[in-house]
Homo-oligomer: A and B are copies of this chain.
Amino acid sequence: MTSLMQKIKEVLPQLSDAEGRIGEYVLENPEAVPHMTIKELSEKSSVSEATIIRFCKSIGIGSFKSFKLALMKDLTLTDSNLTDFSALTKKDSPYDLFHKIIHVNKSAIESCADSMDRKELAKAVEAIQHAGKIVFFGVGGSSTAAVDAQYKFTKLGYHSITSLDFHYMLSVIPHLTEKDVFVAISTSGKTKDVLELTRFAQKKGATAIAITTLSKSPLYKEADIRLCTPNVEQDFRIGSIPSRMTQLTVIDTLYMSIFQQIGEKVLQQYYDARSEMENLRR
């Protein structure tokens, strides 16, 4: 049996006007449909509720509920689908947006695999593992990743620093040496503040690791080690949402890799922290 989506594609030309619109909507937003009600789907595809039922019968399924179940099954089998976020419409409810965001974030994380270079990653882990201080810097949407990273590496026992304040960073960097690592986070690779601090850190001898998209940006060119994030669609409406997810995935990888290497050494401190937390009942 061919998949349900396949089946819809096949019968699409034979369908009537209204039913055809349903078919198109389903093919474009397969992830969202299983969570929708008839009413919602009817509004999205501008048809009546009755037509939805008729559509289900047209493609050989007895009820709308069965259709949703069948579609869900289909999706888990085929997996890769393209829901375009630009299909955002005025009438999207928060719940619709929720499902679109789930999809966009999932896709972004998935495509991380395409842009990462294993050798660069290995170099980054090596550099961090032997680092004295680790400084993270990102502005705007990229600051989230910097803050997250700072917390994670502190938990691992590192002297880990970040700040949103350019001037604060200016006072941190002079103390860096060849043993230290500066992690610059910038999606575009062109952010002036990030670039300037990166160059400053390199001048002090620190290793500069860039978490940025694979492009001809200054940051990409100048960094010592490049951890590339995929070029996820940049749309002002979604802003930095998906690119932040990719940055965090890279941070997670660095964290887990270091944990893997030095895990044994910090386990005791982990347990200490946890039991003390229980004592303090936090």
- Interface of A with B (CB < 8 Å)? 34-35, 66, 68-69, 72-73, 75-77, 88, 90, 92-95, 97-102, 105-106, 109-110, 112-113, 116, 118, 121-122, 124-125, 139-141, 143-144, 147-148, 151-152, 155, 191-193, 236-239, 241, 244-245, 248-249, 252-257, 259-260, 263, 270, 281-282
- Cβ-defined partner of A122 (8 Å) among B95, B144, B249, B282: B95
A98–B116 touching, CB < 8 Å: yes
A245–B244 touching, CB < 8 Å: no
A193–B122 touching, CB < 8 Å: no
B101–A252 touching, CB < 8 Å: yes
The CB with the most chain B CB atoms within 10 A, among A98, A122, A191, is that of A98
B148–A244 touching, CB < 8 Å: yes
CB distance from A226 to the nearest CB of B (A): 14
A282–B69 touching, CB < 8 Å: no
CB distance from A249 to the nearest CB of B (A): 6
CA distance A74 to B141 in the complex (A): 35
Which chain B residue has the least Cβ–Cβ distance from A280?
B192
For this chain, the copies found in one complex come to: 2
Which secondary structure characterizes the binding site on chain A? helix
CB distance from A86 to the nearest CB of B (A): 13
Which chain B residue has the least Cβ–Cβ distance from A148?
B144
User: What are the residues of chain B within 8 A of A68 when measuring CB–CB?
Assistant: 69
User: What are the residues of chain B within 8 A of A122 when measuring CB–CB?
Assistant: 93-95
A121–B94 touching, CB < 8 Å: yes
A102-B249, A192-B281, A248-B248 known; 4 other A-B pairs, CB under 8 Å?
Answer: A76-B76, A94-B257, A144-B148, A152-B239
CA distance A250 to B40 in the complex (A): 21
Can you show 11 pairs from A to B with CB atoms below 8 A apart?
A: A35-B113, A69-B69, A73-B73, A90-B260, A95-B116, A97-B257, A99-B113, A101-B249, A101-B253, A105-B252, A109-B109
B256–A237 touching, CB < 8 Å: yes
- Cβ-defined partner of A76 (8 Å) among B77, B245, B281: B77
CB distance from A164 to the nearest CB of B (A): 9
CB distance from A282 to the nearest CB of B (A): 5
- Cβ-defined partner of A73 (8 Å) among B66, B76, B155, B257: B76
CB distance from A245 to the nearest CB of B (A): 7
CB distance from A149 to the nearest CB of B (A): 9
User: What are the residues of chain B within 8 A of A236 when measuring CB–CB?
Assistant: 270
CB distance from A153 to the nearest CB of B (A): 12
B102–A110 touching, CB < 8 Å: yes
